[in-house]
Structure 1
Amino acid sequence: MDVNGIVKQLMTLESRPLSALDSKEAIQQTKLTAFGSLKGMISSFQNNLVALANPAKYAAITANFADTTLASVSATSAAVTGSHSVEIQTLAQSQKLKSANFATTSTTIGSGTITIQFGTYNNGTFTLNPDKAAQSITISPSNSSLAGIRDTINAANAGVTASIVNDGTGNRLVIASEDTGLSNALKITTADADASNTDNAGLSQLAYDASSGGASNLTETVAAGNATLVIDGISINKASNKITDAIEGVTLDLLKTNLGSTTTLNLSRDTASIQGAVSSFVKSYNDLNKTITDLSKYDAATKQASILTGDSTLRSIQTKMRSAISDPLTTAGGGLSLLSEVGVSFQKDGTLSLDTTKLSAVLSDSTKDVSTLFASIGKTSDSLVSFVSAEPDTANDKYSLNISQIATQGTAIGSTAAALTIGAGVNDTLNLTIDGVEASVKIAAGTYTTTSLVAEIQSRINGESAISSAGIKVTLSESAGKLTITSDQYGSASTVSITGGNGKLDLFGAPVETSGKDVAGTINGITATGSGQTLTGAADSSGLVLKITGGGIGARGDIDFAHGFAAKLNNLLGEMLDGRLIDSRIDGINSSIKDIDAQRETLNQRLVDTEKRIRAQFTALDTTLASMTQTSNFLQQQLSRLPTIS
């Protein structure tokens, strides 16, 4: 018997359930792919909503010069639309100094220490720039050549650059201030190894002090200068060609002058980016809607259903999104409550369309605020209270604000008038802790006025590496000769402590040190959390963050807060992606696939057992048939030998 052939045919029949399981798994895998595709499209749509949900999008201002060769310009939301006439008279420039001629770049100049200070020369007096610290650079004997000094200065990152220029008769060292402006002119003093710090020999050949009685062995080639311009007839004088505070919210980068003529600076609302974002929103929604339609449609002509036709999860997603887009906002506060009011509306096929003419008209209407229709916006009634941010679950509402404490800065106030004579090793050091950062500063010896002493100490503190690297700054002031150090930071983390140094007593006596305080108050009558100048709500105002920059204590008006459509949809999609709506279906499909795998494994084991049984049965039958055939052949042989019966 052909046992193998018979068993193979029988097992083909027995294996039919495996094919059914393969078909079921293929369907589940297709569904898994479909939900993965759906999840990706939802995520893509959510990413597209980010631009629309950002309040800054609707406050953007475009700025441009009629003559673009004069300056580049940019604007923030703080700028006010309008036009300005601008005349650029001079550009700011940095001071440059040159040395005498030297035969070669390897000519030895001298060793010692170079100290560079920044400030303003006026009527023979040098006034220190309080925002820039003096920088000391050590010139070792091994680096005392012209080239060595150049390289040492550049490596020190001291706010100046050095180069060597060969003018045809010799090599000159050129030292230039990195920053432009009158207040960044250079004063260079030396501690020369030859013990003579002002003669024209050794390292003192690089000394420069243009004040009355000062020693200047370098020659000025380019004078420090401010940028001067006239805006709307008002004269402006700035230390830098990058001007950020002439027109609120506008940054000008001056490129060249137009002395004697004017150009126009135009500031207008950036409606093009808003239109682009809304158009992108409509397209992104339609792309998602097409994915949902393709996954769930039924073709009546071919009587073919899609993989997710009739799926309840798909219907739920589509219904929730359409409802979120269609339902009007109740607390928008900008004169708009429906997307159809800005030209976004549903078509018969379930897609969205955009009427750009209608959107443009609304954007041009000063009585309408499109930002409240899309973004999460808080409108404050107090100009010193600003909305910072909110969480997705912050409730739409009108919140009342009451302030019980305004944020303050940490200070240290001297108890006696400061000594104006500073002696080296006598009263020239201060040990401080600013906002938790410890530092020690050394004040240059000399006799000061109160103003120059304030500038010297402030520049030394702000220039100390531990302070500057931590992003900390202080401001010094004086009243009746008493000095005050104030941290630039607000809140309880803002502290100024004078911990020691031989100059503490002479400069501050027994200073009164006061830590800063965080803003404190309530939102809707519930205590909020203060940190510096920011106040974060709790309970019904949870997630609402406000910044209080001044004003008094007590009632400070209301904050109208609402989530717009983009923010509302973003929250909804976040719940779909982060919750169990889609993931539960994906988990269920994966579970079904695992169950099919388990069934397949069980069936395969049963088929193995079945094949063993069938094969054993047919093998036994084949053996029996072989035995019977042998017996039959024997009998036939024996019968053939019997005598023939006649």
Structure 2
Amino acid sequence: MNRPVGAPSGSYAVNVSVAAEKATLTASGALVGGLAQNETLSFTFSRDHTTSAPTISGFSVDLGAGDSLAQVINKLNSAFATQGAGLNAIDEGGRLKIESNDYGADFFFSVVSDVGTGIGGTEFGTTTLEDAGVDIAGTINGIIAVGSGSSLRLGDGALSGLTVDYKGSLTGLLGTIDLSTGLSDLFSEAADRISGDDSAFLNGRNESLQQQIDRLNDQIAKKEESIARTQGRLEREFANLEVTLAQLQSQQTFVTNQLQQLQSLR
């Protein structure tokens, strides 16, 4: 449940008239042992099926003779992930079942095989099968809610934004939701008020913090300039020291040679 800020405390009845459903297709028979021959399953799918111009994509999955149900499922799920189809294949009591990951009428897919039923295939057959999900429908506190997928949401009034998510299959009165304003709710509402776009307090505080940040950035820039100057001076002094050291080494060599010559004259 998503509770909007400012929603009044109280108990609210949730009544579901239409339960949400996934798009689902199940093979007509079980796959025992393995596929009797090579088989290709062709799919189309849409994730915006209720729009005026839905996007429909298609792809095929090749299956090999001898593939077990588990291997078929692995190949299909790998292809579904690669294609971004939002579908999932599972073992439904030995039969191959394919369903959408999410609930709702936006999710649609179809499947058709190049192998007929009753001859050791996946048992989807050569007639195209298709299905779409169903959006939930119902009321919250007697108010008609907007159903999308598995979520009921109120769009108007003091409870605008109140959302209930229900993925079950039961319909009718599901129960009541108790809303109470606790400390966490009060703090949340206070924080929302403080952080609102029209809050002069927060805007002023933000400006003050930004000014402090700007001053710190100026100080950092000046320190970096000072460090750069000091580094340059030290590098020049080091270079001068190297020149002086080289001169001293040259003088040492000259003196050493002179002493050796004097010793040779004795």
Are residue 529 (structure 1) and residue 146 (structure 2) matched?
A: yes
Shift of 1:403: 0.5
Contact 2:113-2:124 at 8 Å conserved across structures = no
Q: Within 1, Cα distance between the matches of 2:142 and 2:2?
A: 20
Are residue 458 (structure 1) and residue 91 (structure 2) matched?
A: no
Are residue 406 (structure 1) and residue 19 (structure 2) matched?
A: yes
Q: Which residue of 1 aligns with 2:131?
A: 514
Q: Which residue of 2 aligns with 1:423?
A: 37
Q: 1:469/1:409 Cα in 2 relative to 1: closer, same or farther (>3 Å)? A: closer
Q: Which residue of 1 aligns with 2:190?
A: 572
Matched length: 191
1:545-582, Cα deviation, whole Å (9 max, x unpaired): 22213252111111011232232233234323425452
Contact 1:439-1:466 at 8 Å conserved across structures = no
Structure 2, unmatched stretches of 5+, are 48-56, 205-266
Q: Within 1, Cα distance between the matches of 2:91 and 2:108?
A: 14
Structure 1, unmatched stretches of 5+, are 1-387, 587-646
Choose 1 or 2 for highest CA Rg. Answer: 1
Shift of 1:400: 0.9
1:96-123, Cα deviation, whole Å (9 max, x unpaired): xxxxxxxxxxxxxxxxxxxxxxxxxxxx
Q: CA RMSD in A?
A: 3.6
Q: Within 2, Cα distance between the matches of 1:522 and 1:488?
A: 25
Q: Within 2, Cα distance between the matches of 1:584 and 1:475?
A: 53
Shift of 1:430: 0.8
Q: 1:568/1:470 Cα in 2 relative to 1: closer, same or farther (>3 Å)? A: farther
Shift of 1:535: 1.8
The correspondence of residues 60-75 of structure 1 with structure 2, limited to 5 A, is none
Are residue 548 (structure 1) and residue 166 (structure 2) matched?
A: yes
Q: 1:502/1:579 Cα in 2 relative to 1: closer, same or farther (>3 Å)? A: closer
Q: Which residue of 2 aligns with 1:445?
A: 65
Q: Which amino acid aligns with 1:432?
A: F
Contact 1:409-1:516 at 8 Å conserved across structures = yes
1:193-249, Cα deviation, whole Å (9 max, x unpaired): xxxxxxxxxxxxxxxxxxxxxxxxxxxxxxxxxxxxxxxxxxxxxxxxxxxxxxxxx
Contact 1:438-1:466 at 8 Å conserved across structures = no
The correspondence of residues 289-328 of structure 1 with structure 2, limited to 5 A, is none
SS in 1 for 2:138: strand
Q: 1:554/1:502 Cα in 2 relative to 1: closer, same or farther (>3 Å)? A: same
Q: Which amino acid aligns with 2:36?
A: I
SS in 2 for 1:578: coil
Q: 1:549/1:465 Cα in 2 relative to 1: closer, same or farther (>3 Å)? A: closer
Q: Which residue of 1 aligns with 2:115?
A: 503
Structure ranking higher on relative contact order (CA contacts 8 Å, 6+ apart): 2
Matched-pair identity in %? 28
Q: Which amino acid aligns with 2:177?
A: I
Q: Which amino acid aligns with 2:7?
A: T
1:83-104, Cα deviation, whole Å (9 max, x unpaired): xxxxxxxxxxxxxxxxxxxxxx
Shift of 1:522: 0.3
1:398-424, Cα deviation, whole Å (9 max, x unpaired): 111111011112122445777964324
Contact 2:19-2:171 at 8 Å conserved across structures = yes
The correspondence of residues 39-188 of structure 1 with structure 2, limited to 5 A, is none
> Structure 2 length as normaliser, TM-score?
0.58
Q: Which amino acid aligns with 2:24?
A: T
Shift of 1:532: 2.3
> Structure 1 length as normaliser, TM-score?
0.26
